[in-house]
């Protein structure tokens, strides 16, 4: 019987194939680690971008709140100037700011009842006089402000605020800026405590608390 010998070239090819097969698991492991690292990197990047977007969006809402609150503030002041002898001189609701029923001609102090950008509703907290005139408004958001400096002159007191509800938008000589809308008093005590808060969303200021110590 004659033995057949495999050609040397074929033998070497078989060994090369075997070597490749042994090397494949190492290549696959490296690819897995690389993909895992890429996934982690993408996750960290997305988390950072989400935080940055959230902060930017909050700053935008703060700017909107300052603008909208300023509109309410100016509307209340203009109504008071035009109606010094009507009631206590302050608007009884937002509707009279949209259209003054006491004016001989069409007169509007507010273009619309703006949405609170921090809560997404028109449910504003109100600072009122004992007979119900609206002295000022504030957001009912209890979130902590990002902005703590560089306010307009009429809003310098906002720098000390701990929540957005501390940003009270009112004429500076109205006394509303010293109202405390966080400490509500029971309804039965309102008659004897008119200078404090009558409900969680309505603060009350008395005429005696009105001063001219702030900038106009």
Helix (H) or strand (E) holding 30: helix 8-82
- Convert the pLDDT of each residue in 146-180 to its tens digit: 999 999 999 999 999 999 999 999 998 766 665 54
CA torsion sign for 156, 80, 110, 164 is positive
- Cβ atoms 158, 166 nearer than 8 A: yes
- Convert the pLDDT of each residue in 35-50 to its tens digit: 777 777 776 766 765 6
- Convert the pLDDT of each residue in 114-131 to its tens digit: 999 999 999 999 999 999
pLDDT band at 195 (very low <50, low <70, confident <90, very high): very low
Ramachandran class of 150: left when φ > 0, alpha when ψ lies in -120 to 50, beta otherwise: left
The pTM of the whole model exceeds 0.75 = no
């Amino acid at each position: 019987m004659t033995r057949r010998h495999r050609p040397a070239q074929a033998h070497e090819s078989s060994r090369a194939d075997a070597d490749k097969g042994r090397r494949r698991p190492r290549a696959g492991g490296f690819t897995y680690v690389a993909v895992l690292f890429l996934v982690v990197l993408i996750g960290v990047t997305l988390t950072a971008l989400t935080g940055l977007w959230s902060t930017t969006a909050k700053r935008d809402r703060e700017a909107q709140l300052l603008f909208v609150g300023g509109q309410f503030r100016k509307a209340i002041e203009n109504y008071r100037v035009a109606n010094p002898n009507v009631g206590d001189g302050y608007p009884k609701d937002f509707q009279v700011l949209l259209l003054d029923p006491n004016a001989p001609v069409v007169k509007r102090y507010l273009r619309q009842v703006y949405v609170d950008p921090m809560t997404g509703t028109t449910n504003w907290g109100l600072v009122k006089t004992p007979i119900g005139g609206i002295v000022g408004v504030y957001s009912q958001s209890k979130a902590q402000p990002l902005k703590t400096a560089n306010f307009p002159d009429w809003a310098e007191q906002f720098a000390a605020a701990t929540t957005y509800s501390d940003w009270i938008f009112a004429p500076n000589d109205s006394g509303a800026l010293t109202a405390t809308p966080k400490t509500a008093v029971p309804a039965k005590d309102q008659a004897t405590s008119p200078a404090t808060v009558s409900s969680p969303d309505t603060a009350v200021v008395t005429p005696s608390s009105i001063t001219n110590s702030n900038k106009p």
